[in-house]
């Protein structure tokens, strides 16, 4: 099948859709953040190199990330390709990735910025049991959390200014990359502001 790239701003629902795409295609999900943490924890040569940059508060260079990816796609479960989540972010990364694996589809889950702000800024969790709630879409029941001891927790960065800054960075980074993949006939946009099953249906339709 080849490898696929999953695109989308923070809060677009990539996690849910990634899981469904994995079930449908059998391709393993590859998140560079997860790989970095795993390599650092395992103390691999690439992991130790990455740790040096991270400890200094510097961005891990593309060469190190690509070395991690090269290692990952040698593993048995990746023989038919992988699904990249959150990578590539730049055209040089995309060009380098093409030398490691064949990208057949780039799937972009598109959601208007104002909806992303609404989704993210309304999130809360129960500090006691971890249940996830949303002010609009899934409010805390009138009789409280199922655990009986609701303790509201909200992430400090789930505020409008921070979310808009993150979205600005996302658009700035990915707009040129979207055009680059579009020129190659690989870029597919899917409306992510709908029911979850409708989004899944369209994503799998593209892959089929």
Q: Looking at 14, 115, 184, 194, which residue is catalytic?
A: 14
**Contact assessment for residue 165 and residue 75, using Cβ atoms and an 8 Å cutoff:** no
> How far is it, in rounded angstroms, from Cα 63 to Cα 96?
9
CB atoms inside a 10 Å sphere around CB 169:
13
Q: Looking at 20, 37, 89, 115, which residue is catalytic?
A: 89
Q: Looking at 37, 51, 123, 189, which residue is catalytic?
A: 123
Q: Looking at 155, 184, 189, 194, which residue is catalytic?
A: 155
Q: Is 56 a catalytic residue?
A: no
Q: Is 89 a catalytic residue?
A: yes
Q: Is 51 a catalytic residue?
A: no
Q: Is 72 a catalytic residue?
A: no
140 backbone φψ class: left, alpha, beta (φ>0; ψ -120 to 50): beta
DSSP H helical ranges for the chain: 14-25, 32-42, 45-55, 62-72, 91-98, 113-121, 160-183, 196-207
**Contact assessment for residue 69 and residue 30, using Cβ atoms and an 8 Å cutoff:** yes
Q: Looking at 37, 51, 166, 189, which residue is catalytic?
A: 166
Q: Is 184 a catalytic residue?
A: no
Spell out the residues 6+ positions from residue 32 whose beta carbon is closer than 8 angstroms to its own: 65, 68, 69, 86, 87
At 169, phi and psi to the nearest 5? Answer: -65, -40
CB atoms inside a 10 Å sphere around CB 33:
12
Which residues have a catalytic role annotated?
Answer: 14, 89, 123, 155, 166
């Amino acid at each position: 099948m080849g490898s696929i790239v999953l695109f989308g701003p923070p809060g677009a629902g990539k996690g849910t859709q990634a899981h469904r795409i994995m079930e449908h295609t059998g391709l393993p999900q590859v998140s560079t953040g997860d790989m970095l943490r795993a390599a650092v924890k395992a103390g691999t040569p690439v992991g130790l190199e990455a740790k040096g940059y991270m400890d200094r508060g510097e961005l891990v260079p593309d060469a190190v990330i690509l070395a991690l990816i090269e290692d990952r796609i040698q593993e048995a479960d990746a023989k038919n390709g992988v699904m990249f989540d959150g990578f590539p972010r730049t055209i040089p990364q995309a060009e380098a990735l093409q030398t490691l694996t064949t990208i057949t589809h780039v799937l972009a889950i598109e959601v208007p910025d104002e909806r992303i702000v609404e989704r993210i800024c309304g999130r809360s969790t129960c500090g006691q049991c971890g249940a996830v709630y949303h002010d609009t879409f899934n409010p805390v029941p009138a009789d409280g959390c199922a655990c009986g001891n609701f303790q509201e927790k909200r992430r400090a960065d789930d505020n409008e200014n921070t979310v808009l800054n993150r979205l600005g960075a996302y658009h700035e980074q990915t707009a040129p990359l979207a055009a680059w993949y579009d020129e190659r006939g690989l870029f597919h946009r899917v409306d992510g502001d709908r029911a979850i099953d409708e989004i899944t249906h369209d994503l799998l339709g593209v892959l089929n």
